[in-house]
Amino acid sequence: KKYDDFAVCLNEKGAKMYGADWCTHCQEQKKMFGGSFKYVDYVDCDFNKDECSEKKVEGYPTWVINETDYRGVQSMQRLAYLSGCELPA
């Protein structure tokens, strides 16, 4: 799939997406990855309340990359820039 390597790279760099299944913006973000989303380190805050409150996640989605929070849907280009992972051509 197109974004498999990119999603695996994000995961290897420790990037995490915090969200919830009912969140429409999270669904929008997942759609960008298509089937490759399964490789993204995704934390569902409905089932991991402790981790999400510990990380002070206040809105969905929230990406944590290099110990920095990025709130809202992030473009693939921005995720690539923040993580140093290469987007497929």
pLDDT at 38 over 90: yes
pLDDT tens-digit series, residues 8-29: 999 999 999 999 999 999 999 9
Q: Comparing C-alpha atoms, which of 33, 14, 13 is closest to residue 73?
A: 33
pLDDT tens-digit series, residues 44-73: 999 999 999 999 999 999 999 999 999 999
Confidence of residue 89 (pLDDT cuts 50, 70, 90): confident
In which element (H, E) is residue 24 found? helix 24-33
| pTM (two decimals) | 0.95
